[in-house]
Structures are given as structure tokens and as C-alpha cells.
Amino acid sequence: MATSASTNFELDVSDYIEEAYERCGLETRTGYDLKSAKRSLNLMLVEWANRGLNQWTIAQRTQTVTASDGEYSLGADVIDILSLTVLRDSTYYSVERISRDSYLSIPNKEQTGRTTQFFLDRQLTPNLKIWPLPENSTDVLYYDALTRMDDADSYTNTLEIPFRFYPCLAAGLAYYIAIKKAPDRIQLLKAAYEEEFERAMSEDRDRSSFNVSPQLRFYNIV
């Protein structure tokens, strides 16, 4: 039996829009239809981030510290920090995440020492607050950042998502378009979207537990 020997199937933004419109029983007829659909697609990607469906965008980053400075601005693409360690004298030490209330309750925020706690102030530009304040400028923070997915900018662009999420994206976009264009299909397409969403979430969670594992150089964390 002959097979294709190909595993590079991929859809670009225009393909997803066409598929979604077909599920709504419609066709794209104007440039505004495309513009509106692309806007819906970007809004849906934000929804995915809010629902935690972007685990493939985890990036390991570093932050050098400055003595007595306990606040550091991170990249605007950072949604959350999943884990953080501090490197000192070739040894990695775990840093505990605390809540805003716990951070505000620290009586002496000017205390210096090896950092043991952090709070992520999730503003438009995320602000990392650490305590105690670094007592040197040689410690380095290593953190696993959950970052934003790339926007759907151009119709010919592909999206940076694993292939197993393709059905979820197509179903979700069809539902979003139905809200505006095909109200008689909203319930049907919403049900299909939620089914695909749950299947995608289950694929990520059940088959590969969502435990962020540091790279091998972290083996000597204290």
C-alpha cells in the first residue's frame, strides 16, 4: 500500500477562515469578512491563553540582578511565571511564589540576602518583584515563562500551534463567526468547539502531565 510519507500538513490563516465559513454554511465575499474573521481569530487566541491552552509557548529565560534592586520589568509577551530559581555560586536555589497580599505584608522590603520569594505583578508590562533584595549583582534568576501566542497578522501566515490543536482552532473560529453571521448555528458550533477544546486540553494534560521540568543543568537545585 502506497502512503504519502508526508507529515507536513499545515493551514494558514486564510485556510482556517475558509474552513470556519464553510462550517457556518457561508462564503467570504468581502474584504471586511476576512478582516472581521481575522479579528475573531486573534480574540480566540487570547481566550485560549486565558483558559491555559498555550503550554507550548513556555520559554526559559534569565534575568540578571542588581544589588538592592527588587523589581524587574519583563517582556510584554510574558503571561505568567511557572517556576523560578536563583543561581549562586554554581548552585540553583528554588524561589517560592507568593501572592500580592503576602508580598504587601512583608514588613521589611529593604532586607537584603539570597532571594527566596517572588511576586509577579501582571501589569501591561509584567513586573517581577523579589525578596529579599539581592545582596550582590552576580546572582542570576532563571524562570519558565508562559508567553503569548503569535497573532494572526497576515492571511498567508501559519500559526505557531501543535498540529493536534488544528481541529480546535477551526471549530472555535467557526463558532466565533457564527455569533456574528450564522445565529442559527451557534449552539451546534459551540458544542463542537467545546468538544474539541476539551479533547485538546485532555491531550495535553493526560498524555503528558503539565509539570515544567528544568533543564539538566538544574539537577542540583537546593
pLDDT in tens, 103-137: 999 999 999 999 999 999 998 899 999 999 999 99
User: What stretches in the chain show pLDDT beneath 70?
Assistant: 204-222
pLDDT of residue 96: 97
Contacts of 60 by beta carbon, 8 Å cutoff, 6+ apart: 142, 143, 144, 145, 214, 215
Cell of 49: 491563553
d(CA 30, CA 140): 53
pLDDT of residue 55: 73
Q: What is the residue extent of each domain of the chain? A: 13-54+151-206, 56-148
pLDDT of residue 208: 45
Counts of helices then strands in the chain (DSSP H, E): 5, 10
Q: Is the CA virtual torsion 177, 180, 182, 184 positive or negative? A: positive
pLDDT of residue 206: 45
160-164 long-range contacts, Cβ below 8 Å, gap at least 24? 160/56, 160/57, 161/56, 162/56, 163/9, 163/10, 164/200, 164/203
At 135, give phi and psi (nearest 5°): -95, 5
pLDDT of residue 219: 45
pLDDT of residue 136: 96
pLDDT of residue 101: 96
At 82, the amino acid letter reads L
CA distance readout (Å), 94 to 75, 99, 122, 136, 150: 22, 16, 21, 18, 30
pLDDT of residue 87: 97
Strand partners, 88: 91
